[in-house]
Amino acid sequence: MSRPRETPSLLSADHVLHTIASDLAHRFAGVFAPETVDRYVFESYTALARTAKITSHLPSVTERFARDRLTALAQAKGAAPHDVPEILFVCVQNAGRSQMAAALLNRHAAGRVHVRSAGSAPSTDLHPRAVDVMQEIGIDLHAAFPKPLTDDVVRAADVVITMGCGDACPLYPGKRYEDWDLQDPADTTLEQARQIRDDIDTRVRHLLDEILTHKTPTAQ
């Protein structure tokens, strides 16, 4: 009995993913074997596809997600530069609070720290309220996308800020963990979402001041 033919769309996706893997293997040559890069690309694609609403965007976000995960893994192994403190924000859906915090810290830090965000159960899209209130202060979140929490980004982090995701985040020695009790903007009014944004802004300013003042040591 002959094997069923793969559909053109599946063949096309497979080809695109192999192309992404080839490009990233070149980028991480000497750090990771091509097989490792290939596995990360396909794992990242599968993880994002579980919640993706618009599949046409998957290849581009897969490349970004896989590249960031490989960079985090290389940092955790001491095989990539870790020149500034790494901050990770984690909430449940990575669609509101953690995305807002990451964007605000990025603005205030201006390159003095590196920021990532993730979700223990990522949503398909960012919450419209979060996007709207960030747009009000000149921060565009339209290019952001919910990402699943992975072990590599936790290992690379110096500071891990959780927001209502319980025990989903693994604990590793030598890292600073902090939980912020913040309301989820998903089901709030616009004014309540603004208050959440401003609360997060105050917290990230304080966090940045602490990190830069005390010079949080980078993980190796």
Q: Which CATH topology does 84-220 take?
A: Rossmann fold (3.40.50)
CATH number 3.40.50.720 given to 8-81: no
Provide mean pLDDT across the span 191-199: 97
Q: State the alpha helices, DSSP H only, in 28-127.
A: 34-49, 58-76, 97-109
b/e per residue 148-183 (b: at least 16 CB within 10 A): bbbebbbbbbbbbbbbbbeeebeeeeebbeeebebb
DSSP 7: P
In this structure, the dihedral spanned by the alpha carbons of residues 186, 124, 119 and 147, taken in order and rounded to 10 degrees, is -140
In this prediction, residue 220 carries a pLDDT of 38
In this prediction, residue 2 carries a pLDDT of 41
Using the Cα atoms of residue 150, residue 153, residue 158 and residue 163 in order, give the sign of their dihedral: negative
Cα-Cα end-to-end distance for the chain:
54
155 Cβ neighbours under 8 A, 6+ residues apart: 72, 73, 76, 172, 219
Per residue in 92-117, pLDDT (tens digit) is: 999 999 999 999 999 999 999 999 99
Proportion of the chain above pLDDT 90, given as a percent: 73
Per residue in 74-98, pLDDT (tens digit) is: 999 999 888 899 999 999 999 999 9
In this prediction, residue 217 carries a pLDDT of 45
Q: Are 81 and 214 in contact (CB under 8 A)?
A: no
Compute the distance between CA of residue 99 and CA of residue 56 in angstroms, rounded to an integer.
Answer: 22
Domain ranges of the chain: 8-81, 84-220
Rg for the chain, CA atoms, rounded: 18
Q: Are 72 and 100 in contact (CB under 8 A)?
A: no
pTM for this predicted structure: 0.88
SS (H, E, C) 164-188: CCCCCCCCCCCCEEEECCCCCHHHC
